[in-house]
Amino acid sequence: MGRLSQGQMIAAVGGIALLVAMWLPWIGISAPSLPSGVAPGGVDTSTSENIWKGSSLDIYLLITGVVAILPALMALTDSAEEFSFVSAATLLLGTVAMILVVAFLTVDFPDGADRKIGAFVALGAAIVIAVGGFRAMQEEVAAEI
C-alpha cells in the first residue's frame, strides 16, 4: 500500500464534494406569483434542477471530479509513479473548473432563475481540487530534492 500525500487527500475530498454537488440543486425556477387569496392547491410552484439538466458543464465537472480522486486511488495501489503528471492535471482541471463555475454563475446563468446551493458547493470543491493539486505538485518536487 502506498502513502497518500496531503495534497492527494485534499484533492480527493474536493473531487468527492464536486461529484456530490453535481446532484444538488443548482438552478431554482419559481412559478409566477398567484393573486392573493388563491392557493396553489398542493401544487409545487417552484422547481430546482441540478447541473445534469441545466448546462453542458456537467461532463467537464464529472471528468474533473474523477481526475481529482484518481491520484489518491493510484497512491493506494502503488501505481502513482507510473503517472506522475496526474497532480499537474488535477491542478489544471481544478483551476479551469473554478473559472467555468464562476462563468456559469455570472454570465451563463438562466435569466430569472435563482442560484442554489449546489453551484456554490461545486465552486468550493473546485477551489479545493486546485489547492490539492498544487499541494501534491509541491510535495512531488520536494520528494525529488
What is the per-residue pLDDT for 87?
83
What is the per-residue pLDDT for 69?
92
Which class for 128: exposed (0-12), middle (13-18), buried (19 or more C-beta within 10 A)? buried
What is the per-residue pLDDT for 128?
97
C-alpha cell at 141: 518536487
Alpha carbon of 22 to those of 3, 84, 104: distances in Å?
Answer: 29, 28, 14
- Report the C-alpha gap between 28 and 16 in whole angstroms: 23
- Report the C-alpha gap between 119 and 106 in whole angstroms: 11
What is the per-residue pLDDT for 140?
81
The tens-digit pLDDT sequence of the chain (145 residues) is 457 889 989 999 999 999 999 999 988 876 566 566 555 555 555 677 878 875 788 999 999 999 999 878 887 877 656 666 788 899 999 999 999 999 999 998 888 888 999 999 999 999 999 999 999 889 888 877 7
